[in-house]
């Protein structure tokens, strides 16, 4: 096995292990607070939103820092260690202030994982193979989520909801070792920050942070990402609450089922998206994925059947699966040669976090004031607005090269 091949395998395993830490804490926290402490929807929304809010604080400066730091592995390892520690705090404290602080700390650190892992991936494979590598990363994340969620459901059934958080903490610690096995020399520093343009004298062209943000194509992507997550982020926690009303003994089973079905759909979607980018185009694929979001929200408003609601959640596999691949590649293409890839990716993560924060808070208010079904209709309308914006303002030539 070649050295780079060995590092890619270590990265594969790390992504599998860290999947649950990145994606499943929020939904399970929603169920945990509802079933164990009978928190109302607004309090749950605030607790979940704290992760997204604190992520906003960390991701932009972290992105700029990632562009400068050569040893990117240590950033991932510290984030995972902090996640494990924060999960233990959640288990020991039941007061909302402590839950908000601990989950906020998780958001502060795990929000750094996505841009750092993308940077490591880009540094290992280069820009030409980046779309395929991102597709592989997303596929592994979804596989890891399915396996971890299945195990979490079994563990929760026999040992209680709190055992899920111990389980995720253990996976976070295990992924630290796998990251350690990636060789630093296999990560090209210049490639990992998007490459650097050079002038006629072969000197690097230093593009300032603020100048990189003046790229109107990046701004349009940011607006679209915000609307997507405003419409999308609250849907899964909301469905978890709706399913657990009066059925707390089945809450973790229902939530696990929702996560598993969406992740199972995401696996082939991520693979197909990375393979068809060149043939179909990034914008068209992105729009196709976006359409699944408002359709899902509308369907949620039409029934109270647990089986149908869980089945409809499968549409999340299309929207999130496509977004996970196309969004990162669109940013890499739009900002290529600036040396600011991780900074822009950090900004995008903050925009996404802002959208998710607003989504959970607004959705919590809407549910408390108007009920679940009207909340789903409003989120669907927001999603349709996002599709229209993307169709008008995102230009194919600037994000598909």
CA separation for the pair 91, 296 (Å, rounded): 33
Report the CATH number that the domain containing residue 79 is assigned in CATH. 1.20.1250.20
The Cα–Cα gap between 250 and 29 comes to 15
Query: Quick check: helix, strand or coil at residue 291?
Result: helix
pLDDT at 218: 92
CA distance 136 to 331: 17
User: Both tokens of residue 245?
Assistant: 């009303």
Number of domains in the chain: 1
Average pLDDT over the chain reads 86
pLDDT at 289 over 90: yes
Q: For position 359, what pLDDT does the model report?
A: 94
Is 0.75 surpassed by the pTM of this model? yes
Mean pLDDT to the nearest integer, 330-356: 86
Evaluate whether 106 touches 86 at the Cβ level (below 8 Å).
yes
Domain span at residue 311?
A: 3-399
Q: Which residue has the higher pLDDT, 193 or 178?
A: 178
Mean pLDDT, range 321-350, rounded to an integer: 88
**pLDDT above 90 covers what percent of the chain?**
42
Give 235-282 pLDDT, tens digit per residue.
998 998 888 776 666 667 787 788 889 988 999 999 999 999 888 989
- Coil/strand/helix, residue 262: helix
Q: What integer pLDDT is reported at residue 288 of this predicted model? A: 95
Q: What pLDDT is recorded for position 121?
A: 93
Q: Mean pLDDT, to the nearest integer, of 146-167?
A: 83
Per-residue pLDDT, averaged over 152-172, amounts to 85
Q: Which of 153-157, 271-275, 372-376 has the lowest mean pLDDT?
A: 153-157
Give rounded-to-5 percent helix, strand, coil for the chain. 85, 0, 15
């Amino acid at each position: 096995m070649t050295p780079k091949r060995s590092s890619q395998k270590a990265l594969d395993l790390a992504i599998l292990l860290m999947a649950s830490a990145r994606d499943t804490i929020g939904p399970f926290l929603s169920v945990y607070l509802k079933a164990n402490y009978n928190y109302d929807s607004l309090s749950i929304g605030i607790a979940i939103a704290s992760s997204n809010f604190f992520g906003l604080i960390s991701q932009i400066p972290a992105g700029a820092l990632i562009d400068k730091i050569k040893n990117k592995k240590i950033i991932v390892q510290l984030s995972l260690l902090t996640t494990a520690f924060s999960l233990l705090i959640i288990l020991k404290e039941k007061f909302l202030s402590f839950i908000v602080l601990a989950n906020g700390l998780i958001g502060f650190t795990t929000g750094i994982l996505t841009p750092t892992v993308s940077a490591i991936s880009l540094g290992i494979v280069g820009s030409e193979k980046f779309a395929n590598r991102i597709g592989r990363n997303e596929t592994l994340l979804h596989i890891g989520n399915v396996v971890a969620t299945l195990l979490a459901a079994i563990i929760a059934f026999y040992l209680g909801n709190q055992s899920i958080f111990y389980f995720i903490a253990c996976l976070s610690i295990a992924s630290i070792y796998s990251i350690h096995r990636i060789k630093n020399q296999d990560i090209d520093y210049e490639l990992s920050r998007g490459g650097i343009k050079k002038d006629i004298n072969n000197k690097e062209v230093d593009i300032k942070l603020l100048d990189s943000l003046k790229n109107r194509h990046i701004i349009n992507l940011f607006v679209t990402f915000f609307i997507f997550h405003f419409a999308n982020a609250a849907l899964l926690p909301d469905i978890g609450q709706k399913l657990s009303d009066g059925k707390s003994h089945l809450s973790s089973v229902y939530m696990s089922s929702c996560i598993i079905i969406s992740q199972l759909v995401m696996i082939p979607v991520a693979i197909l998206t990375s393979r068809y980018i060149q043939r179909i185009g990034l914008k068209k694929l992105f729009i196709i994925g976006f359409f699944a979001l408002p359709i899902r929200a509308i369907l949620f408003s039409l029934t109270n059947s647990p089986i149908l609601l869980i089945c409809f959640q499968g549409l999340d596999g299309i929207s999130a699966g496509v977004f996970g691949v196309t969004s990162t590649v669109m940013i890499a293409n739009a900002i290529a040669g600036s040396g600011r890839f991780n900074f822009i990716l950090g900004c995008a993560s903050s925009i996404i976090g802002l959208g998710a924060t607003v989504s959970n808070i607004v959705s919590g208010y809407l549910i408390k004031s108007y009920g679940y079904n009207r909340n789903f209709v409003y989120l669907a309308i927001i999603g349709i607005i996002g599709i229209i914006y993307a169709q008008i303002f995102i230009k194919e030539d600037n994000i598909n090269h």
